[in-house]
C-alpha cells in the first residue's frame, strides 16, 4: 500500500486539462464525461490531425492526451509520433484501444505511450492513469 502526504494527494487531485481523441463520438463523449466527472477540463478531437491542430492553436496547454489507436486520417501511433517529435516531447500520451491481447498491449507500451488502457474501461481506470502524471 502506498501512503502519501496531504499535499501530495492534493497535487494528484488537481484539475488537469486533457485532450481526448477518438473517432467514435459515443466513446469520445463517455470519456469526456468521465474525466469531467473527475473534475478535469476536457477538449475533444475526432482524429489525430484535428488533435495536432488543437495542440498548436492552444500552445500545447494540455496536461495529457487520451487517444484511440485506430482512427482515420491519423492513427493514435502517428499522433504519438507527432507529439514526441514535433510538438511537445514530455506531454503524456495515453492509448485507449480495443486491442486486449497482452502482447499487443505490451508492444504499444514500448512505442512510448505513457500507459495503455484496453476498452471497455471504467472511470477509475482513467483516474489511475491521470494519477500517473507527475505533478508540475
| pTM assigned to the model | 0.84
The pLDDT of residue 136 is 56
Is residue 10 assigned to a domain? no
Decide if 90 contacts 58 (C-beta within 8 A). no
Q: How many structural domains comprise the chain?
A: 1
Is residue 11 assigned to a domain? no
Measure the CA–CA gap between 109 and 123, rounded to whole angstroms: 21
Q: Which residues pair with 94 in a beta bridge?
A: 66, 115
20 has pLDDT over 80? yes
**pLDDT tens digits, 59-103:** 778 999 999 999 999 999 999 999 988 766 688 999 998 877 777
Task: For residue 41, give its domain range.
Answer: 16-131
Taking CA atoms, 80 is separated from 12, 84, 99, 106, in Å, by 24, 6, 17, 16
Measure the CA–CA gap between 132 and 116, rounded to whole angstroms: 12
Any idea what the CATH number is for the domain that residue 111 is in? 3.40.50.2300
Is residue 3 assigned to a domain? no
Amino acid at each position: 500500500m502506498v501512503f502519501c502526504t496531504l499535499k501530495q494527494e492534493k497535487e494528484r487531485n488537481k484539475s488537469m486539462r486533457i485532450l481526448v481523441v477518438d473517432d467514435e463520438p459515443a466513446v469520445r463523449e463517455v470519456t469526456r464525461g468521465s474525466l469531467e466527472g473527475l473534475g478535469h477540463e476536457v477538449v475533444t478531437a475526432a482524429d489525430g490531425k484535428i488533435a495536432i491542430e488543437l495542440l498548436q492553436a492552444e500552445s500545447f496547454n494540455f496536461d495529457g492526451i487520451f487517444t484511440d489507436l485506430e482512427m482515420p486520417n491519423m492513427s493514435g501511433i502517428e499522433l504519438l509520433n507527432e507529439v514526441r517529435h514535433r510538438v511537445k516531447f514530455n506531454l503524456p500520451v495515453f492509448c485507449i484501444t480495443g486491442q486486449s491481447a497482452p502482447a499487443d498491449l505490451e508492444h504499444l507500451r514500448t512505442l512510448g505511450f505513457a500507459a495503455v488502457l484496453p476498452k471497455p474501461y471504467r472511470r477509475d481506470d482513467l483516474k489511475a492513469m491521470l494519477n500517473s502524471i507527475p505533478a508540475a
